Every structure is written in C-alpha cells, then in structure tokens.
Amino acid sequence: MSSLRLIVGLGNPGDRYAETRHNAGFWFLDRLAAQAGERLRPQSRLQAEVARTRLHGCDCILAKPTTFMNHSGLAVRAVMDYYGVGAADLLVAYDELDLPPGVARLKQGGGHGGHNGMRDIFRHVSDHDFLRLRIGIGHPGHKDAVTGYVLGRAPAAQERLIRESIGEACDVMPAVMAGDLAAAMKRLHTSPVSDSTSSEN
C-alpha cells in the first residue's frame, strides 16, 4: 500500500436527498470527517467535496462526489488521478439493499451488485479489487419498488440502526487503516448491532 488512502462515500448531492437511504455512504463520510475534525470542501475540477487529513495515523483523502449517484465514477476517477491513488488504496462506502438495517460489511473486490454508483465506478476504474463498505438499508421486497425506496427516508427505527452500523464501521477504521483487514472484518461482522439484526433478513 502507498502512504495515501482514499475513502469515498456515495450518495446524491443536495438537501432533497440528504436524509435518504441512498445517502448512507455520505453519512459514513460525514462521520469520519467529524471524527477527524475536518470539513469537506467542494473541488469543482474533481467533481467532489474533499478533505485531506490524518486518520488513525494515516494520510488520507475523504471524498463525496458532487455528481449524482449514477455518475459517481467520474468523481472517483478524477480524485484518484489528481492524488495519484490506486485501487489498492481505495475504500468505497455505499448503501446495500441485500443487507438489513443495522448491518455493515467490509468486502474486498467482487461485483457491483447492481448498485448504480458502483456500476459507474466500474466504468471508470479498471481494477475492481478495491475495498468496499456495504451499509445495509434493507430491501422493499420487489425490484419495482427499489427506486422509491432508496430515494426515500427510512422510518426512525431503521434509520437509527443504519446510523448505528455506520458508527460500528467507523470504530473498525483504525484496523482498516493499519492494513489489518481481517481484524476489522471480524470485529465489524460480529458487532452487537449486526448480531441483533441478523435474524431480520
């Protein structure tokens, strides 16, 4: 790994979408930025809000695309190129329909799972073996209901679970930044929040 890491949270820009399920990746980035005492600032040439900071002893870039979700790859590619970060040092956080609220999972590599933001990143980043943080939001039960579901706000109880799982994910970031992915996965995947919701899906 290089000395510089890039952590990207996916979502849609603007107040209209700020509290929707599809913005769980933004929620994670905002939590990390708050922990680091940083403020993300718009960088128009990168099509993202960006902060460069130290996180758990490592130099890193925090980034939230200012494109809409379906064009997330444009921003990710621009930030990677500007800072010289390769896929081996990239982590992307996003909402996951196939996990229930309260569950977050780290994953190395794999497909895009039908997620539109990830699909676009795949178009712009040829090496797909980067780290992902999948934040469970649950599934509406039918594919035709997905768009309205992800672009809607979760009920209070579900939103609380989603935000708790984001807190758990933030808690394992020291291990992630240290390169101890196995330890981070073990802790996150056996967290109390994850355990309490495992029977819901």
The DSSP bridge pattern shows strands 131-136 and 90-96 to be: parallel
Q: Which residues have a catalytic role annotated? A: 22
Q: What is the mean pLDDT of residues 54-62?
A: 92
Domain hosting 32: range is 4-200
Indicate which CATH number applies to the domain containing 78: 3.40.50.1470
CA–CA separation, 24 and 50 (whole Å): 17
In the chain, how many domains are there? 1
pLDDT band at 194 (very low <50, low <70, confident <90, very high): low
Instruction: Decide if 62 contacts 170 (C-beta within 8 A).
Output: no
The single-letter DSSP state of residue 13 is -
Confidence of residue 163 (pLDDT cuts 50, 70, 90): very high
Residue 157 confidence (pLDDT): 97
> Within 10 Å of residue 199's Cβ, how many Cβ atoms?
7
Q: Residue 113: what pLDDT?
A: 87
Query: What's residue 4's pLDDT?
Result: 82
- Determine the average pLDDT of the residues in 37-64: 94
Q: What pLDDT digit, counting tens, does each position of 59-99 carry?
A: 999 999 999 999 999 999 999 999 999 999 999 999 999 99
CB 56 within 8 A of CB 192: no
H-state helical runs in the chain: 24-36, 72-83, 116-124, 146-150, 156-171, 173-177, 181-189, 192-197
Greatest Cα pair distance in the chain: 45
pLDDT exceeds 50 at position 53: yes
